[in-house]
Amino acid sequence: MARRTARTKPPARASSRAKAAGVKKAAPRARRVSPIPSGYHSVTPYLTVHDGVAALDFYRRAFGAREKERMPGPGGKIMHAELTLGGSVVMLSDELPGSTCRSPKSLGGTTGSIFLYVPDVDAAFKRATDAGCTSLMPPTDMFWGDRFARLEDPFGNQWGMATHKEDLTMAQIAAREGGHAAGTGRAMRDVHVSAITDAVKKLCVEANYQLEPDMLRAFDRALATERSAAGKQVLQILKQNAEMARTKMIPYCQDTGTVICFVELGQDVHVTGGALSDAINAGVSQGYTEGYLRASMVRSPIDRVNTGDNTPAVIHTDVVPGAALRILVMAKGGGCENRSKYKMLTPADGLQGVKDWVLECVRTAGPDACPPLVLGVGVGGNFEKSAILSKRALFRELGSPNPDPTLDALEKELLDRANRLGIGPQGYGGDTTAFGIHVLAYPCHITSLPVSVTIECHAHRHKEVTL
């Protein structure tokens, strides 16, 4: 823990009168210890990381941090360490047994960030990205008077970084925020295309190397319930495969998929420096070439010439309220995609018809789609809307309830019935044919009941980021 530096006070002197009177010398008073040790502030960030030794080295190179102290733990772990950054202390440790603090890598995200004021944000940003940080936003002059940038380090922690340029009153900031877009009354937040490209590149690589925690939990749940010996063995092998992919930085599957990209573009976001789709495809290209991932896209379904870098992505963009840009990426395998289906039911087919059709899709997909499967089901809308819903449904966290109670009950019934088909992991038989079935619905015409089913395999590789 932090070294408590004792502040000393000169010892009280016995008065000369007391001396003269022969009064016995009093015992020295206990030292007064400052409740906040010297060199610390009241609040100190404390990071949990998945590799403390590497993090200490990285923060030194990326941010110029100085290591203040380190308490090693068993197995080469860091029990506690302290860094100084400028005049501030940052503490960190590895994930420790018995602690509920998890690293961003385990959580698949982070709930906070560290904000650094630096003398030269452009130079600091370059140093950090050269060392291996991912740019979430390059240095940009902001309406509140700072030049500001955002980064993510290789341990999943996010950093804000700024140099203060102008002293402004709150009224001036408010005027800039709300008034500079005079006539619209709304401020636009700039997001540079380089931040989008960097983010997509990182998502593509990580999606292929690291299954999300919801998938790993799905493996654990299935291992606890699977009764078939062969099915259990397959699940164990697949879980080991996921761990090897993560630790050895190799793709989870040789089919590294088509990149499906759902973009939620805040209507108060202004994408600067180029086109959104170009920025996404540049990220896919960089991620797949620099990450040594198989290129699986052909430039035309007719001449079938490989594009060489897995571009283009299939991009779906929604404009939504707010000033955030959310990007969801999936590396979608081809074998399972080939088993996806669409059917226009009639209203008379009703809910029973929907259930029968979804289960028929599971049955006909069989072992070819590499089960355990994850199914996205789009019900309603029209021909194309139902298909898009079926893809979007796959991004919900596996094991989480559908917010619509009717659809939640439908999902549970479908999953239970799918897992009683006996197809099992990789078709070897067993109780685990599907990890999850997610349904999204949309209003539709009185004469229609469109249903699309996207079949996803056990290589359910998805990631997301909000810029």
Question: Which spans of this chain sit near ligand SF4 (rule: CB under 6 A)?
Answer: 253, 255, 257, 333-336, 370, 457-459
* Residue with Cβ nearer ligand SF4 (39 or 367): 367
Q: How far is the CB of 64 from ligand SF4 (least distance, A)?
A: 42
* Residue with Cβ nearer ligand SF4 (267 or 306): 306
Half-sphere exposure for 270 (CA within 13 Å, toward CB): 9
* Residue with Cβ nearer ligand SF4 (149 or 234): 234
With H, G, I as helix, E, B as strand and everything else as coil, classify residue 91: strand
Q: At what angle do helices 276-290 and 193-209 cross, to 10 degrees?
A: 40
Residue nearest to ligand SF4 (CB): 333
DSSP 413: H
Q: How far is the CB of 308 from ligand SF4 (least distance, A)?
A: 19
* Residue with Cβ nearer ligand SF4 (118 or 457): 457
Q: How far is the CB of 423 from ligand SF4 (least distance, A)?
A: 14
Cα separation of 347 and 326, whole Å? 35
φ, ψ at 434 (rounded to 5°): -135, 145
Q: How far is the CB of 162 from ligand SF4 (least distance, A)?
A: 42
Do 50 and 155 form a contact (C-beta atoms < 8 A)? yes
Q: How far is the CB of 370 from ligand SF4 (least distance, A)?
A: 3
* Residue with Cβ nearer ligand SF4 (124 or 373): 373
Q: Strand 158-164 and strand 113-117: pairing?
A: parallel
Q: How far is the CB of 361 from ligand SF4 (least distance, A)?
A: 15
Q: How far is the CB of 238 from ligand SF4 (least distance, A)?
A: 9
Other beta carbons less than 10 A from residue 416's beta carbon:
11
Do 155 and 105 form a contact (C-beta atoms < 8 A)? yes
* Residue with Cβ nearer ligand SF4 (148 or 209): 209
Alpha-carbon separation of residue 204 from 92, 251, 408 (angstroms): 28, 11, 30
* Residue with Cβ nearer ligand SF4 (263 or 331): 331
DSSP 419: T
Q: How far is the CB of 248 from ligand SF4 (least distance, A)?
A: 17
Q: At what angle do helices 121-131 and 52-63 cross, to 10 degrees?
A: 140
Q: Which residues contact 374 (CB under 8 A, 6 or more apart)?
A: 394, 398, 434, 435, 436, 437, 438, 456, 457, 460
Q: How far is the CB of 155 from ligand SF4 (least distance, A)?
A: 28
* Residue with Cβ nearer ligand SF4 (232 or 461): 461
DSSP 306: B
Cα separation of 353 and 199, whole Å? 41
Do 92 and 81 form a contact (C-beta atoms < 8 A)? yes
Q: At what angle do helices 229-248 and 193-209 cross, to 10 degrees?
A: 140
Cα separation of 77 and 56, whole Å? 12
Instruction: Take residue 193 and report the two structure tokens written for it.
Output: 């295309």
Q: How far is the CB of 466 from ligand SF4 (least distance, A)?
A: 26
Q: How far is the CB of 426 from ligand SF4 (least distance, A)?
A: 9
* Residue with Cβ nearer ligand SF4 (56 or 330): 330
φ, ψ at 43 (rounded to 5°): -115, 130
φ, ψ at 330 (rounded to 5°): -130, 135
Q: At what angle do helices 405-418 and 350-365 cross, to 10 degrees?
A: 40
* Residue with Cβ nearer ligand SF4 (45 or 335): 335
* Residue with Cβ nearer ligand SF4 (372 or 380): 372
